[in-house]
Structure 1
Amino acid sequence: MRLLNNAVHLNANPQSESLSHRRATRAIVLDGENILLLYTERYHDYSLPGGGLDDGEDMIEGLIRELQEETGARDITNIEPFGCYSEYRPWYKDDSDTIHMESFCFTCDIHSELGDTALEEHEVNNGMRPVWMNIFDAIKHNEYTIANSDKQGLSVIRETFLLKLIAKELITA
């Protein structure tokens, strides 16, 4: 899978002796200029649906599981690799100070009607919900959050980079 970006966040140490590693999948579901995203009220941002892979879990199986849990997506088909976003960022769990996160992004199609979600407790507490959103509006919103919010999460920079790349490469005018 092609490398989309290799980012190192401030306060991250890629050479750390206590480096953790996490693999995740992200789904790119488009309908014209609209994209299926997750809005998170706590961070006031839009992100691609997806999340961490369980130990030994196949990437496609993990993508389908995460997409179903977070958005209620059904009939997930035509899954194709888009690329991997690699990042090093601060981490404060599992006795680590830095995590190397690899987000494997895939395009796919889904049934037009979403079903019920199965969000985790912290996702519900953060005010996460699936939304169809114009991709250019989502980019503008995230850029505003980056420039003006003190409560932004670490992932908003990754997500905005990915949205811009998706718009550039996959949205036909």
Structure 2
Amino acid sequence: MRLLKSTIHPDITDMSATTFTRKATRAIVLNGDNILLLYTKRYHDYSLPGGGVDNGESITDGLVRELKEETGAHNVQDIQAFGLYEEYRPWHKPGFDIVHMQSYCFVCSIDDELLAPELEAHEIDNGMHPTWINIHQAISHNEHTIANSSKKGLSIERETYLLKRIVDELVN
């Protein structure tokens, strides 16, 4: 899969620190200029549906599972690689200093009707919900959050970059 971008968080000063790799998937589901995203009230941002790949699970199986859990999407088809976004972030739990996050992004299609999502407790607590939104509005919203919000999460820069790449390469 092609590398879209590689980033190192500015707080990381020693790349030889203890590091672990976390593989994740991100789903790109388009309908014209509209895209299926997750809005998270806590961070006031839009992000691609997706998440961590479980042990023993293929990346595409993780994509289908995460898309179903977070959005209620079903009948996922036409899965095609878009690219890999990798980032090195500080890790604040015992045993490691850095997480090497690998986000494998795929374009796919789904049935029009969304079923009820199966969100995890922390996702519900953060006010996460799936929504169809115009991709240009989502980018503008995230850019405003980046510039003006102290609540922004670590993923908003990645998500905004990916949304812009999607516009450049997939949205006519």
Normalised by the length of structure 1, the TM-score is 0.97
User: CA-to-partner distance for each residue in 1:87-139, whole Å, 9 max, x for gaps?
Assistant: 01111124222110000000000001100111011000000000000000000
Aligned to 2:114: 114
Compared CA separation, residues 12 and 171, structure 1 to 2 (3 A): same
What's the counterpart of residue 104 of structure 1? 104
1:131 aligns with 2:150: no
1:154 aligns with 2:150: no
Give the stretch that moved more between structures: 103-112 or 4-13: 4-13
Indicate conservation of the 8 Å contact 1:89/1:98, yes or no: yes
Distance 1:83 1:145 in 2: 25
Residue 10 of structure 1 corresponds to which residue in structure 2? 10
Shift, 1:148, TM fit = 0.5
| Residue matched to 2:81 | 81
In structure 1, the partner of 2:66 is 66
1:37 maps to 37
What corresponds to 2:143 in structure 1?
143
Amino acid at match of 1:17: A
- In the alignment, which residue of structure 1 is the partner of 2:171? 171
**Aligned equivalents of 1:14, 1:171: Cα separation in 2:** 39
Confirm or deny: 8 A CA contact 2:38 2:129 kept in the other structure.
yes
Give the partner amino acid of 2:95: D
Shift of 1:14: 6.1
Kindly tell me: are residues 139 and 55 of structure 1, through their superposed partners in 2, closer, same or farther at Cα, counting changes over 3 Å? same
Q: Residues of 1 paired with 2:92 and 2:145: CA distance? A: 23
- Work out the number of aligned pairs and report it: 172
Give, as a single letter, the amino acid of the residue that structure 2 aligns with 1:61.
D
The answer (yes or no) to whether the contact 1:14–1:100 under 8 Å persists in 2 is no
**Long gaps (5+) in structure 1:** none
Shift of residue 25 of structure 1? 0.3
- The 3 A distance-change label for structure 1 pair 84 and 14 is farther
- Any idea what SS the aligned residue of 1:152 has? coil
Report what 1:48 is aligned to: 48
* Displacement of 1:13: 4.5
Compared CA separation, residues 13 and 27, structure 1 to 2 (3 A): farther
Structure 2: unaligned runs, 5 residues or longer:
none
Partners of 1:128 and 1:53 in 2: CA distance: 19
TM-score (norm 2): 0.97
- Matched position secondary structure for 1:167: helix
